[in-house]
């Protein structure tokens, strides 16, 4: 059976929102997504919600909030998924499986998170629930501290790549200037990103503030339909392949600089699609920290281990480069509301393939890759998308 296809979407502005909870954030995207797909709430057979929560709100049972956020879903089956920073992709892949199993023909995927209502210290502690707390809960700097350790280990092994991390940050902020949904639409120079200052201090050395994604509120929504239904829709973005690979949670039990689960996910997805990286027109990748994007270059096969800096130096990942990476600005500029991120990344790629990306548009984009990960490359999702209609 052919994979279900993306037939509509909607995306809220990411940032510090006045919306008091995920319910109101969901309300911003559900009806616009239905309208974009040209369907009604009554046409939806199943709802799949991605919200991490884990302490951001005392209100849980998030799957049930869709019917509280939009009319017409009172009796539609709904379920909530959680898989750390890959929560949105977990919801999407479950919806795809739902349709592939023949349990429904149209599904709604909603990702949302309200993160900014809590003090920074509390937010940091909540994010550490995506680590192996038995060993990693006391890392100074929270989750940034974990990636600071990864960066430090990488630098010890391959050399200091602080300037290349600054180049990644500057690239993604420059791209984010063209994204109307981005949390931070500010252009930062490589020099600013590479200089430790009062405005750009160390968060978890060697990572500076500009190396870290933003704590954000936001929501994104996808409508997916089986291939037969999608054929009658205005637009359809197909999954040429998708792959989910896990790696061990504890960093002490693997090479933290290898992102082996990500490598396996990329390899499996490209093999399933019958493609190579040279066939892709763009990639949206999970730059929760700039060191993550650097290592992901190596995991996807753009460079050998320790040589991801060449991708940056040679401009391969720039918007005008051989393989534009994060033309949306990525998590670094767009923001990272945990449950919304995976859904958002697929929305950004679908917009490119349908020619609806506005100022972000990569000319003649036909095939896109999406990499979303949960934790420190623990839950790894790779989608290869192409325009079907």
Catalytic residues: 85, 336
Are residues 69 and 32 in contact, defined by beta-carbon separation less than 8 angstroms? no
Work out the number of other CB atoms within 10 angstroms of the CB of residue 60.
Answer: 16
Q: Residue 149's closest CA among 157, 135, 139?
A: 139
User: Among 301, 310, 330, 294, which residue's Cα sits nearest to residue 155?
Assistant: 294
Phi and psi at residue 385, to the nearest 5°:
-110, 145
Residue pair 227/359 in contact (Cβ under 8 Å)? The answer is no
Cα radius of gyration rounded to whole Å, the chain: 19
Q: Distance (Å, rounded) from C-alpha 85 to C-alpha 68?
A: 25
CA angle in degrees (0–180, nearest 5) for 131-172-169: 65
Give, to the nearest 10 degrees, the angle between helix 87-100 and helix 338-353.
Answer: 60
Q: β-pairing, 78-81 with 46-50?
A: parallel
């Amino acid at each position: 059976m052919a994979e279900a296809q993306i037939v509509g979407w909607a995306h809220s502005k990411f940032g510090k929102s006045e919306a008091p909870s995920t319910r109101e954030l969901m309300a911003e995207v559900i009806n616009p997504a239905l309208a974009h797909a040209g369907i009604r709430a009554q046409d939806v057979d199943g709802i799949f919600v991605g919200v991490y929560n884990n302490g951001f709100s005392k209100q849980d049972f998030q799957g049930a909030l869709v019917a509280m956020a939009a009319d017409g879903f009172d009796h539609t089956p709904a379920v909530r998924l959680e898989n750390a920073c890959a929560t949105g992709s977990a919801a999407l892949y479950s919806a795809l499986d739902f349709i592939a199993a023949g349990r429904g023909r149209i599904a709604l995927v909603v990702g949302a998170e309200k993160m900014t209502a809590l003090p920074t210290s509390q937010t940091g502690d909540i994010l550490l629930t995506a680590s192996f707390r038995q060993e990693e809960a006391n890392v100074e700097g929270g989750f940034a501290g974990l990636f600071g350790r990864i960066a430090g280990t990488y630098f010890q092994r391959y050399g200091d790549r602080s300037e290349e991390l600054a180049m990644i940050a500057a690239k993604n902020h420059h791209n984010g200037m063209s994204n109307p949904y981005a949390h931070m639409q500010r252009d930062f120079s490589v020099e600013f990103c590479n200089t430790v200052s009062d405005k750009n201090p160390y968060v978890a050395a060697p990572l500076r503030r500009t190396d870290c994604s933003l704590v954000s509120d936001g929501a994104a929504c996808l409508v997916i339909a089986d291939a037969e239904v999608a054929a009658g829709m205005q637009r359809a973005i197909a999954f040429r392949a998708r792959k989910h690979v896990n790696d061990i949670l504890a960093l002490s039990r693997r090479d933290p600089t290898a992102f082996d689960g990500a490598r396996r996910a990329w390899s499996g997805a490209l093999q399933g699609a019958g493609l190579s990286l040279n066939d892709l027109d763009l990639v949206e990748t999970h730059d929760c920290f700039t060191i993550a994007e650097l290592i992901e270059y190596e995991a996807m096969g753009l460079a050998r281990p320790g040589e991801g800096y060449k991708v940056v130096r040679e401009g391969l990942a720039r918007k005008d480069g051989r393989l534009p990476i994060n033309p949306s600005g990525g998590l670094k500029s767009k923001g990272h509301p945990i449950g919304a991120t995976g859904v958002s990344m697929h929305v950004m790629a679908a917009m490119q393939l349908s020619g609806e990306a506005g100022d972000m548009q990569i000319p003649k984009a036909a095939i896109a890759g999406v990499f979303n990960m949960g934790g420190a490359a623990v839950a790894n999702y790779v989608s290869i998308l192409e325009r079907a209609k």
